[in-house]
Amino acid sequence: MEMKNHSAITEFILVGLSSAPEHQMILFWLFSFIYAVAVISNILTILAINTCSKLHTPMYFLLVNLSVINICSVSVIVPKMLQTILAERKSITFTGCIAQVYLFNLMLGTELMLLALMAFDRYAAICHPFQYMVIMRKEFCLGAVTGLWLIGMANSAIQTGLVAQLSFCDSNVINHFFCELPPMFNISCSDTSLNESMVFVASVTIVIGSCAVTLTSYCFIVRDIIKIRSTESKRKAFSTCSSHLLVVSFYYSTIIYTFLRPASAYSLEEDKVIAIIYSVLIPVLNPLIYSLRNTDVKEALIKLVVKRVSQKY
């Protein structure tokens, strides 16, 4: 009977953001534009950092990793979303859905931990400037980033493996624009208590753990900045971490709201809006926030564009 339930569902139907025909083309062009901006801006950020030797520092190494995650994260969601908007049958195969669950959760968990590591980097730069290059040495950065990716892979594999064991015998309609865990739990005819418990454990471990590292780092940063007498020095210190604080505020607040609420508090329509923020909009905002608020990155981007244009003509 269990095998029958698993094999009965070969595809899922994604409801999407709106079922109204008049909204479909608006949504298609809107998210096509957002996707193009996200991919292009993150690629430009990576190229600018890689081609400018001045930016070959731990902070920008972490920013390159963030841009890679942003490109992968938005690419897991938006292309399929655009395809389902245009298609008459808004379906995704069972295998495709499981792959989407794995890849998105991998990017989600890794980005959360990377943001915490970036907060620690700012702590080291502001609170221990003379020991910064020792603390954030190449071996540490490579090891830490590799560790974050491995933890993200392991967590995502566990969550995805548990989802793959669920039975979907009553409905295959996912009230969402991609295969996210809470909507999938909602339509399963299996007992999802283990799945929900593991999501909660992962959320507490990764989300709260990353948030704690970030908040602790910024508590020390604020403490040291307050001790600085020069107003100009204070301004420069705050400016070095303000971009990261802005990104963290957006990201952590939406993730915590989505994954740490009681199951009884879920509103699928509301969750779609929140999901758009952390899965689609933040990958667009990250490079814009870091680039527009960072003089070095802006200069590197301008040099990159001028160089490309001059080579072309």
pLDDT in tens, 163-187: 999 888 878 888 888 998 888 888 8
| Number of neighbours of residue 275 by Cβ within 10 angstroms | 23
Give how far Cα 10 sits from Cα of 85, 94, 170, 179, Å: 20, 5, 13, 14
pLDDT in tens, 125-165: 888 989 999 999 999 999 999 999 999 999 999 999 999 99
**What percent of the chain stands above pLDDT 70?**
91
The parent domain of residue 285 ranges over 2-312
pLDDT of residue 260: 62
Give how far Cα 155 sits from Cα of 86, 101, 228, 289, Å: 33, 12, 41, 29
Please provide residue 266's backbone torsions phi and psi, each rounded to the nearest 5 degrees.
-70, 135
pLDDT in tens, 28-75: 999 999 999 999 999 988 998 898 888 889 989 999 999 999 999 999
Q: 69: domain CATH number?
A: 1.20.1070.10
pLDDT in tens, 242-278: 777 777 777 777 777 766 665 555 566 677 888 888 8
pLDDT of residue 30: 93
Q: pTM for the whole thing?
A: 0.87
| Domain total of the chain | 1
